[in-house]
């Protein structure tokens, strides 16, 4: 397997030609311009012309951080290769791990196939299977699409249950977020995918072959060049991609070419955007909410994603932030409690600036496509380096600057550094915070804790929907926080003078010298 490291510069590219002297279709060029795309990112600069080069048939493993433009790495070559097709066949399959990513990738395809004869379809869970069938093939079994973006489980469903649906003519197979897909079985999708794509010469007589559906024969051995008709190009993409040849052989790509943004590091590749500013804050467990609130105060009016370790923690923290905020409608959680429509609306509200804080768990983050995220806060330290890479990859995307701050409980720092050492990161600078202002947060924060308890109790009793936004009845000012007021729920421990003093002593550790 060969590898190629890329520079970090952003070379200008004229759309009429690539460095491999391959013309781009005029309509595709117009679509690129309409999307505001005027140059290639580094990973695109090397990979796209390579795939478009005449006679190129190699499999590719592409390692690039989230936000580096890796989706366009395969979308543009697929559209360019297929735009001149005469007969409609399903010729490209893109497999992603979640419904949200299906929607995201299809949107990119739709932007580039506008005004061309190409059609892109989807296959994903939480959608009508019958409706999908009608959009994939007609009554005679003819394909209605050229490109399919699918989750692996739903792809298997169509292979087994949709008459006329076939992968015999597929020229491109793309596996995006490969690390996640290859670690889960999804109905043994890899085996069933290859069984549908590859047809041996000995079984050709058993194929249903017509004038409209001639069989495409490929040898299953990726090393054997003797393929009939157009060969298959397989592309794997991930921000955390293994170099282990055994793993690549297991998916039939032992001789794939590896392309990376950064140089290889040990056995695995872990990359973060070059324009990402990373920092940490060490604190006690009891201090974390206060530190978070102070950070969000510093990041006011900047779109920020806060990551937690679990779905339950995501919900509790989101509720606390809504209660504390004077604009609770600007704080939302991105979780499985939302419908697909609600998630899409959340993304649109982020783009419009109506939402400033999104609380999210790792389970949901991989399908999240929120543009212009300025800050990522790791409220809980991620358990794995891969998780850290994907979290911080939500910001500093598409050439923009971004910031990632990790809250580290005392005693966790060494473990964090051991993890980051695999990414060639020796240490993280400490993020400065305003300790004097943080002390003023305590009264309102303690009031919110009591209200949070009541809110969660109402949810458990079914008196409050999980997605209903909440807030304190009246914002507590610093001067009035300790006064008796029926609008603010009483908090017994916060009125305990001893505990207030302990809280003040705890905050003293953040005083700057």
Distance (Å, rounded) from C-alpha 18 to C-alpha 278?
35
Res. 303: pLDDT tops 50: yes
Give the torsion sign (CA, 85, 88, 94, 100): positive
Tell me what pLDDT residue 488 has: 28
- What residues are paired with 282 via a beta bridge? 408
What mean pLDDT is predicted for residues 161-173?
A: 95
Q: pLDDT band for position 91 (50/70/90)? A: very high
HSE at residue 131, side-chain half, CA atoms within 13 A, is 6
What's the pTM value of the predicted model, to 2 decimals? 0.56
- What residues are paired with 408 via a beta bridge? 282
Q: Which domains does the chain have, with CATH numbers?
A: 3-270 (3.40.50.300), 276-508 (3.40.50.300)
- pLDDT of 466-506, one tens digit each? 878 788 764 444 333 333 333 323 333 343 443 454 455 45
Residue 276 is given by DSSP the state E
Q: pLDDT band for position 335 (50/70/90)? A: confident
Cβ neighbourhood burial of 475 (10 Å; 0-12, 13-18, 19+): middle
Q: Are 437 and 452 in contact (CB under 8 A)?
A: no
Tell me what pLDDT residue 367 has: 60
Q: pLDDT band for position 146 (50/70/90)? A: very high
Distance (Å, rounded) from C-alpha 64 to C-alpha 69?
8
Q: Poorest-confidence range of 275-284, 317-326, 422-431?
A: 422-431
357 or 463: which leads in pLDDT? 357
Q: What distances in angstroms separate CA 420 from CA 79, 169, 416, 424, one per listed residue?
A: 38, 44, 6, 7
Distance (Å, rounded) from C-alpha 29 to C-alpha 15?
6
Tell me what pLDDT residue 49 has: 86
Average pLDDT, the chain: 79
Could you give phi then psi for residue 276, rounded to 5 degrees?
-95, 130
Helix 189-197 to helix 152-161 angle, to the nearest 10 degrees?
Answer: 50
Res. 455: pLDDT tops 70: yes
In the 3-class helix/strand/coil scheme, how is 216-232 assigned residue by residue? CCECCCCCCCCCCCCCC
Res. 195: pLDDT tops 60: yes
- pLDDT of 366-418, one tens digit each? 667 788 899 999 999 998 888 898 899 899 887 789 999 999 998 899 999 98
What mean pLDDT is predicted for residues 46-59?
A: 84
Distance (Å, rounded) from C-alpha 334 to C-alpha 258?
34
Q: What percent of the chain has pLDDT over 70?
A: 76
Cβ neighbourhood burial of 464 (10 Å; 0-12, 13-18, 19+): middle
Helix (H) or strand (E) holding 71: helix 70-82
Q: Are 149 and 119 in contact (CB under 8 A)?
A: no
Res. 128: pLDDT tops 80: yes
Tell me what pLDDT residue 290 has: 94
Q: How many residues are present in the chain?
A: 513
Q: Are 96 and 67 in contact (CB under 8 A)?
A: no
Distance (Å, rounded) from C-alpha 268 to C-alpha 449?
43
Distance (Å, rounded) from C-alpha 261 to C-alpha 274?
10
């Amino acid at each position: 397997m060969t590898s190629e490291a890329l520079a970090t510069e952003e070379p200008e590219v004229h759309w009429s030609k690539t460095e491999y002297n391959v013309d781009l279709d005029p309509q595709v060029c117009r679509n690129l311009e309409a999307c505001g795309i005027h140059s290639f990112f580094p990973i695109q600069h090397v990979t796209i012309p390579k795939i478009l080069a005449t006679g190129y048939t190699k499999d590719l493993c592409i390692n690039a951080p989230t936000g580096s433009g890796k989706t366009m790495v395969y979308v543009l070559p697929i559209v360019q290769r297929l735009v001149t097709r005469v007969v409609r066949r399903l010729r490209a399959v893109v497999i992603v791990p979640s419904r949200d990513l299906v929607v995201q990738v299809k949107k990119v395809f739709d932007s580039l196939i506008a005004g061309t004869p190409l059609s892109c379809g989807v296959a994903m869970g939480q959608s009508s299977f019958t409706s999908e069938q009608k959009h994939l093939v007609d009554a005679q079994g003819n394909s209605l699409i050229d490109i399919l973006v699918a989750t692996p489980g739903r792809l298997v469903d169509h292979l087994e249950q949709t008459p006329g649906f076939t992968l015999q003519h597929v020229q491109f197979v793309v596996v995006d977020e490969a690390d996640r897909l290859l670690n889960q079985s999804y109905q043994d999708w890899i085996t069933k995918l290859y069984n549908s794509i590859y047809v041996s010469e000995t079984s050709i007589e058993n194929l249903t072959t017509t004038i409209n559906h001639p069989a495409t024969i490929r040898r299953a051995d990726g090393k054997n060049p003797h393929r009939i008709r157009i060969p298959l190009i397989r592309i794997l993409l991930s921000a955390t991609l293994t170099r282990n040849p055994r793993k690549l052989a297991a998916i039939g790509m032992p001789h794939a070419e590896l392309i990376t943004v950064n140089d290889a590091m040990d056995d695995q590749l872990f990359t973060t955007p070059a324009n990402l500013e990373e920092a940490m804050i060490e604190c006690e467990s009891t201090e974390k909410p206060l530190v978070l609130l102070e950070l969000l105060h510093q990041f006011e009016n900047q779109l920020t994603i806060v990551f937690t370790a679990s779905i339950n923690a995501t919900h509790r923290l989101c509720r606390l932030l809504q209660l504390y905020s004077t604009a609770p409608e600007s704080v939302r959680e991105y979780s499985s409690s939302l419908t697909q429509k609600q998630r899409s609306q959340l993304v649109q509200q982020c783009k419009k600036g109506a939402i400033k804080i999104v609380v999210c768990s790792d389970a949901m983050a991989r399908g999240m496509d929120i543009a212009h995220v300025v800050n990522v806060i790791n409220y809980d330290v991620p358990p794995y380096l891969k998780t850290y890479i994907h979290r911080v990859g939500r910001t500093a995307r598409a050439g923009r600057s971004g910031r990632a701050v990790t809250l580290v409980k005392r005693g966790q720092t060494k473990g964090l550094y051991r993890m980051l050492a695999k990414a060639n990161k020796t240490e993280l600078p400490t993020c400065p915070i305003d300790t004097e202002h943080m002390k003023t947060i305590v009264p309102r924060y303690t009031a919110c804790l009591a209200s949070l308890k009541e809110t969660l109790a109402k949810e458990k009793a079914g008196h409050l929907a999980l997605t209903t936004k909440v807030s304190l009845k009246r914002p507590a000012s610093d001067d009035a926080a300790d006064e008796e007021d029926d609008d603010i729920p009483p908090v017994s421990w916060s009125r305990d003078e001893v505990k207030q003093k302990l809280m003040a002593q705890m905050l003293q550790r953040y005083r700057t010298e």
